[in-house]
């Protein structure tokens, strides 16, 4: 499968700022990519840092001005399975800022008692998908899984946070992945959950807005606090433009009862 992804963004930097981007696809075979970063038309060189699970951060000390970033990538291969050690699995069992699994424990046990493996993932995905309404702009940047469940609406990151919290409450290691998502409409960066069952990590996307088999990993972590496509530190900058695209030459069928690993 050939997948082609791209992202362009513009920041209005009011005073010198440290810009951290997580828009590059995670390193994998068959990846051909290009990134251009400029301030007022002058190229700037980022510091490339390695994050967990293939995440790549690009850090720029940007002067005041118009900051433009363009990223494109073609992918023809699939990433090898990401191994997990015991310490990592324990990390993804704990509550985190946006995934309050301790608070949602009684709900998870009442709704999914006795389910394991693919049956549990399918049940949690269906439960979250039928109880939430996908409403763009309905949630704030500090909303977590509990608030999402009370509001009964959200966007992809809210769905993923609720899935992660419910699974962790049932002692299933779970985490959030930011992805490019061929087939997604409207197109944007996308967020999905990953659960560790059957000895490997598998995608759970309660929005069902894009086929899991075509997703491209960008960043991986405990929740959205680890996977944001942009963060700004030590200065002031405002995002004024964002455009994301992701296409595949073939969009696979997606059966929620089949385990799918994120490529």
Q: What is the DSSP string of 227-245?
A: H-SEEEESSEEEEEEEEEE
* CATH architecture under which domain 3-77+230-247 falls: Sandwich (2.60)
Is residue 77 over pLDDT 80? no
- Can you give the pLDDT at residue 262? 87
Question: Of all residues in the chain, what percent are helix, strand and coil, respectively (each to 5)?
Answer: 25, 40, 40
DSSP 52: G
- Can you give the pLDDT at residue 29? 85
Containing H/E element for 224? helix 224-227
| Contact indicator for 175, 221 with CB cutoff of 8 Å | yes
- Can you give the pLDDT at residue 210? 97
Rg of the chain over all Cα atoms, to the nearest angstrom: 18
CATH 3.10.620.30, applies to 86-180+189-225: yes
The mean pLDDT value for 180-191 works out to 96
Give the pLDDT band (50/70/90) at residue 35: very high
What's the whole-model pTM score?
Answer: 0.95
Token pair 């929740």 in the structure block, residue: 223
Question: pLDDT tens-digit profile of 129-148?
Answer: 999 999 999 999 899 999 99
Sorted by sequence, the CB contacts under 8 Å of residue 184 that are 6+ apart come out as 190, 209, 210, 246
Is residue 20 over pLDDT 80? yes
Summary mean pLDDT of the chain: 95
Closest listed residue to residue 226, CA positions, set 169, 181, 184, 164: 164
- Can you give the pLDDT at residue 69? 98
Is residue 78 over pLDDT 80? no
Q: How far apart are the C-alpha atoms of 220 and 217, rounded to whole Å?
A: 8
Q: How far apart are the C-alpha atoms of 125 and 121, rounded to whole Å?
A: 6
C-alpha neighbours within 13 Å on the C-beta side of residue 104? 30
The mean pLDDT value for 31-59 works out to 95
Domain limits, the chain? 3-77+230-247, 86-180+189-225
Q: How far apart are the C-alpha atoms of 164 and 47, rounded to whole Å?
A: 31
Q: How far apart are the C-alpha atoms of 245 and 53, rounded to whole Å?
A: 23
Strand partners, 70: 8, 36
Percentage of residues in the chain having pLDDT higher than 70? 99
Q: How far apart are the C-alpha atoms of 207 and 79, rounded to whole Å?
A: 23
């Amino acid at each position: 499968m050939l997948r082609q992804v791209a992202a362009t963004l513009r920041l209005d930097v009011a005073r010198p700022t440290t810009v951290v981007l997580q828009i590059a696809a995670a390193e994998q075979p068959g990846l051909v990519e290009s990134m251009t970063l400029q301030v007022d038309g002058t190229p700037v060189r980022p510091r490339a840092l390695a994050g967990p699970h293939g995440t790549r951060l690009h850090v720029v000390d940007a002067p005041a001005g118009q900051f433009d970033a363009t990223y494109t990538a073609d992918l023809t291969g699939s990433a090898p399975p990401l191994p997990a050690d015991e310490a990592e699995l324990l990390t993804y069992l704990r509550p985190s800022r946006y995934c309050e699994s301790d608070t949602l424990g009684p709900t998870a046990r009442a709704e999914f008692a006795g389910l394991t493996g693919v049956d549990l993932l399918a049940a949690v995905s269906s439960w979250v998908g039928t109880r939430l309404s996908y409403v763009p702009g309905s949630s704030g940047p500090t909303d977590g899984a509990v608030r999402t469940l009370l509001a009964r609406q959200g966007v992809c990151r809210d769905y993923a946070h609720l899935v992660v919290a419910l699974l962790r409450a049932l002692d299933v290691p779970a985490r959030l992945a930011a992805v490019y998502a061929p087939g997604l409409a409207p197109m944007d960066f996308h967020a999905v959950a990953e659960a560790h069952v059957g000895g490997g990590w598998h995608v759970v996307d309660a929005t069902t807005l894009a086929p899991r088999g075509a997703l491209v990993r960008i960043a991986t972590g405990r929740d959205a606090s680890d996977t944001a496509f942009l963060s700004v530190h030590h200065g002031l900058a405002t995002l004024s433009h964002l455009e994301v695209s992701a296409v595949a030459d073939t969009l696979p069928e997606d059966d929620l009862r089949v385990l799918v690993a994120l490529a």
